[in-house]
Amino acid sequence: MNENPKSLSDEELAKLVADGDSDKFGLLMERYQAKLFRYGKKFLVDNDNIEDVVQDVFIKTYKNIKSFDTAQKFSPWIYRIAHNTYINAIKKNSLNPLNYFDFDTLLSYTVVEDPIIKEREQKEIKQFVDKGLYNIEAKYREILVLYYIEELSYKEIADILHIPISTVGVRIMRAKNVLREKYKELNIEI
């Protein structure tokens, strides 16, 4: 192949790895190492534990790369693996089981993804989340990270979290409301 491997898309690299070119997996790891670590901070506190889980994610990704459908985007696929791996790590290391019952999935909402509003709010929320103010519920924190930090679409987030697209919009709206309250508590004007 004459093409520079670094210029290949994630999907093209995944196909090459699935076809036996395992060296290309290193490029996928380079691209996703920091993203998966940042994503892990939404679930775990200890950096060593996060690094361990990220390695587990890469191992699972490599082992299952042949099941990846190259007609789909790679990022939601690896984030789904990461999500499941982090949840399993929490369950394994937690004395109290997590309660996954969620009223959002029982209700249907109409949600419109407005790019103008998204762009304006994206900067504010990105700065706020990046400052380490993580004292909101994990399901809201995770959705903010996927939408505003990782810049995934509603559909991609819905696929990762196995929730309806309308629930993604509802959680984003609720998370923004929680963040506004946190801003008020900290006397930060928005």
Q: What is the pLDDT of residues 80-139, one digit of tens each?
A: 999 999 888 887 775 333 333 343 433 344 455 566 766 766 666 666 655 545 567 777
List Cα–Cα distances, 68 to 75, 124, 161, 185, in angstroms.
11, 34, 17, 44
Q: Mind listing the pLDDT tens digit for each residue in 32-85?
A: 999 999 888 877 878 888 899 999 999 999 999 999 998 999 999 999 999 999
| pTM summary value | 0.62
Q: Is the fold of 5-93 the same as that of 103-185? A: no
CA distance 160 to 73: 11
Domain 5-93 coded CATH 1.10.10.10: no
Domain ranges of the chain: 5-93, 103-185
CA distance 190 to 188: 6
Signed CA dihedral, 104, 132, 154, 57: sign only? negative
- The highest-level CATH class for domain 103-185 is mainly alpha
Q: Structure tokens of 81? A: 């693996």
**H-type helices in 64-161, by residue range?**
74-93, 115-130, 138-144, 154-161
